[in-house]
């Protein structure tokens, strides 16, 4: 009669706990959590001691164009939001995937600027591209105990990708972008790394942190590999149209076969990162990615999308005229030129002229600066001595580099150039 045994021992546990000889010692609190973020510790080490100079701090760490600020936001972002608030018709819950009007506005925007036709049903609105990434990763990657899967990421990499993926147990495989080739992707590596478990290839274009704008032929070469292996591409195009040497070419506009999961939003091109507004748009020319579309809608319903007020204002914001975008672009381009000229004149530093996005990666020649042990050490000293905060390459899997954000007014950029030159003059090997 095994049941009696069970009841007896349960009884002992419930009633006899104070004197039961086999009870373990009283437990102490030990709440275990899952909260890794590798960048945090790198940042903490760069800023662990305050600057030892009276110069004002220049913070070029975050890619936030409102920090200094570069340019006022699109006028429609203010007027249309005010109207949405005043009308009091946009205070309720909206569908998880977003309102029909806002999704249609996204489709129209991509039609106008990218000549890509997305069906309204293939668009899901999200809290920034950050949540779009989280959502599409959740759709594509089952828990690792079900199936072994992998994703191909570019290196240098936008750190949020591996951070989000680390929770899913998916294997991350990095393909290098090669500076000598204008930071183009190592196509042979992509070809080699694709296998049965590959669920997606990530392409970040224009690139954070490389500042590249891929050519049509390079994008076509990536598409050809994806087509051979039948792997969809996630195209992070949050910097779409922020390019100045050559036009921006949306990946979806080139694909007749490969499903392209395009991610974009208001954070960069519309200078509204705090609004947390992004979207996923699925381009599926052969209708082979129905499960992705379905999965997107299912996962979108776990949360309701961005604020109803912002959704109501979206159509007007997305119709911001080209003239406004051109004003912003001219400022970023000027910054890129100022910084590139400054770096060129500093022996021991070098960089590929940026062509897009809001960044450039600067290489630190280790032979010129032997006293620094890598990019974190270099950036830490730069912060202490010159009060210039830039992110070390380590944050992007790009050791030996640091990243400059090109989203501050031109005089700030000029001052960074001056301070960098002084710093490097002091520390260059004799
Ligand atoms: C800034 C950035 C984003 C935008 O993220 P949001 O969550 O929309 O603010 C996405 N991808 C890359 C590569 C970025 O640099």
CA–CA distances in Å: residue 232 to residues 14, 134, 243 = 56, 16, 25
362 bridge partner residues:
402
Residue having the nearest C-alpha atom to atom 5 of ligand 1: 129
> In angstroms, rounded to a whole number, what is the distance separating the alpha carbons of residues 161 and 204?
11
Which atom of ligand 1 is nearest to 129's Cα?
8
pLDDT at 16 over 50: no
CA–CA distances in Å: residue 233 to residues 14, 199, 207, 410 = 56, 9, 15, 36
421 C-alpha to ligand 1 centroid (Å): 30
Residues 6+ positions from 375 with CB-CB distance below 8 Å: 364, 392, 393, 394, 399, 400, 401, 402
Q: How many CB atoms lie within 10 A of CB 298?
A: 14
pLDDT at position 187 is 98
254 and 216 Cβ atoms separated by less than 8 Å: yes
Q: Which phi and psi (to 5°) does residue 193 adopt? A: -85, -20
pLDDT at position 7 is 41
Residue having the nearest C-alpha atom to atom 2 of ligand 1: 238
Which atom of ligand 1 is nearest to 277's Cα?
8
pLDDT tens profile 366-424: 999 999 999 999 999 999 999 999 999 999 999 999 999 999 999 999 999 999 999 99
pLDDT at position 6 is 43
pLDDT tens profile 41-63: 888 899 999 999 999 999 998 88
Q: Give residue ranges with CB within 6 A of ligand 1.
A: 63, 128-130, 158, 204, 208, 236, 238, 265, 267-268, 273, 278
Helix or strand or coil: residue 123?
strand
Q: Can you say whether residue 337 is alpha, beta or left, with left for phi > 0 and alpha for psi between -120 and 50 degrees? A: alpha
pLDDT at 194 over 90: yes
Q: Residue-wise over 410-430: b if at least 16 C-beta within 10 A, else e?
A: eebbebbbebbbebbeebeee
> In angstroms, rounded to a whole number, what is the distance separating the alpha carbons of residues 393 and 396?
5
> In angstroms, rounded to a whole number, what is the distance separating the alpha carbons of residues 323 and 307?
27
Quickly state the pLDDT bin for 12 (edges 50, 70, 90): very low
pLDDT at 270 over 50: yes
pLDDT at 333 over 80: yes
Which atom of ligand 1 is nearest to 127's Cα?
7
Report, as an integer, the average pLDDT of 89-100.
96
pLDDT at position 167 is 82
266 C-alpha to ligand 1 centroid (Å): 9
Q: Could you give the residue range(s) of every CATH 3.90.1150.10 domain in the chain?
A: 38-71+323-427
371 C-alpha to ligand 1 centroid (Å): 34
Which atom of ligand 1 is nearest to 207's Cα?
13
pLDDT at 323 over 80: yes
Report, as an integer, the average pLDDT of 147-151.
94
pLDDT tens profile 358-380: 999 999 999 999 999 999 999 99
pLDDT at position 42 is 86
Candidates 64, 125, 129, 305: which one to mutate for ligand 1, based on the most atoms within 8 Å of Cβ?
Answer: 129
pLDDT at 141 over 60: yes
52 C-alpha to ligand 1 centroid (Å): 33
Residue having the nearest C-alpha atom to atom 4 of ligand 1: 129
Quickly state the pLDDT bin for 1 (edges 50, 70, 90): very low
pLDDT at position 4 is 42
136 C-alpha to ligand 1 centroid (Å): 14
pLDDT at 13 over 70: no
CATH number of the 75-319 domain: 3.40.640.10
346 C-alpha to ligand 1 centroid (Å): 31
Q: Could you give the residue range(s) of every CATH 3.40.640.10 domain in the chain?
A: 75-319
264 bridge partner residues:
279
Report, as an integer, the average pLDDT of 318-330.
98
pLDDT at position 305 is 87
Candidates 130, 162, 354, 398: which one to mutate for ligand 1, based on the most atoms within 8 Å of Cβ?
Answer: 130
153 C-alpha to ligand 1 centroid (Å): 15
Candidates 158, 240, 306: which one to mutate for ligand 1, based on the most atoms within 8 Å of Cβ?
Answer: 158
238 C-alpha to ligand 1 centroid (Å): 6
265 C-alpha to ligand 1 centroid (Å): 8
> In angstroms, rounded to a whole number, what is the distance separating the alpha carbons of residues 331 and 352?
19
- Domain 38-71+323-427, architecture per CATH: Alpha-Beta Complex (3.90)
Report, as an integer, the average pLDDT of 223-247.
97
Q: How many CB atoms lie within 10 A of CB 387?
A: 18
pLDDT at position 21 is 61
Nearest to 140 by CA among 231, 228, 208: 231
267 C-alpha to ligand 1 centroid (Å): 7
Candidates 162, 268, 270, 407: which one to mutate for ligand 1, based on the most atoms within 8 Å of Cβ?
Answer: 268
> In angstroms, rounded to a whole number, what is the distance separating the alpha carbons of residues 67 and 60?
9
Pairing of strands 401-405, 123-126: unpaired
pLDDT at position 201 is 98
271 C-alpha to ligand 1 centroid (Å): 12
């Amino acid at each position: 009669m095994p049941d009696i045994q069970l009841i007896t021992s349960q009884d002992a546990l419930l009633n006899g706990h104070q004197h039961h000889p086999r009870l373990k010692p009283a437990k102490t609190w030990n709440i275990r959590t899952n909260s890794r973020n590798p960048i945090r510790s790198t940042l903490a080490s760069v800023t662990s001691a305050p600057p030892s100079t009276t110069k004002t701090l220049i913070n070029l760490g975050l890619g936030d164009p409102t920090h200094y600020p570069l340019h006022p936001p699109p006028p429609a972002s203010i007027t249309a939001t005010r109207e949405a608030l005043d009308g009091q018709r946009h205070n309720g819950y909206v569908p998880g995937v977003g309102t029909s009007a806002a999704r249609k506005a996204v489709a129209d925007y991509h039609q106008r600027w990218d000549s890509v036709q997305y069906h309204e049903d293939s668009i899901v609105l999200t809290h920034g591209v950050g949540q779009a990434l989280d959502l599409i990763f959740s759709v594509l990657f089952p828990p690792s105990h079900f199936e072994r899967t992998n994703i191909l990421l570019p290196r240098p990499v936008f750190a949020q990708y591996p951070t989000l993926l680390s929770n899913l147990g998916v294997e991350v495989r990095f393909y290098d972008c090669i500076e000598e080739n204008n930071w183009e992707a190592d196509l042979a590596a992509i070809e080699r790394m694709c296998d049965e478990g590959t669920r997606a290839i990530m392409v970040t274009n224009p690139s954070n942190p490389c500042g590249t704008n891929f050519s049509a032929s390079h994008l076509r070469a990536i598409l050809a590999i994806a087509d051979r292996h039948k792997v969809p591409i996630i195209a992070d195009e949050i910097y779409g149209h922020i390019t100045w040497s050559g036009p921006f070419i949306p990946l979806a506009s080139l694909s007749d076969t490969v499903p392209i999961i395009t991610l974009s939003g208001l954070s960069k091109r519309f200078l509204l990162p705090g609004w947390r507004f992004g979207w996923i748009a699925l381009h599926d020319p052969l209708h082979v990615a129905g499960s992705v579309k379905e999965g997107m809608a299912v996962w979108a319903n776990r949360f309701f999308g961005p604020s109803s007020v912002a959704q109501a204002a979206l159509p007007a914001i997305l119709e911001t005229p080209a003239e406004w975008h051109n004003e912003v672009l001219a400022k970023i381009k000027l910054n890129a030129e100022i910084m590139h000229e400054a770096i060129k004149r500093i022996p021991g530093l070098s960089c590929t002229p940026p062509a897009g996005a809001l960044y450039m990666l600067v290489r630190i020649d280790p032979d010129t600066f032997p006293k620094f042990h890598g990019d974190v050490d270099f950036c830490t000293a730069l912060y202490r001595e010159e009060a210039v905060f830039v992110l070390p390459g380590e944050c992007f899997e790009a050791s030996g580099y640091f990243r400059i954000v090109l989203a501050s007014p031109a005089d700030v950029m000029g001052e960074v150039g001056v301070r960098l030159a002084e710093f490097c003059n002091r520390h260059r090997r004799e």
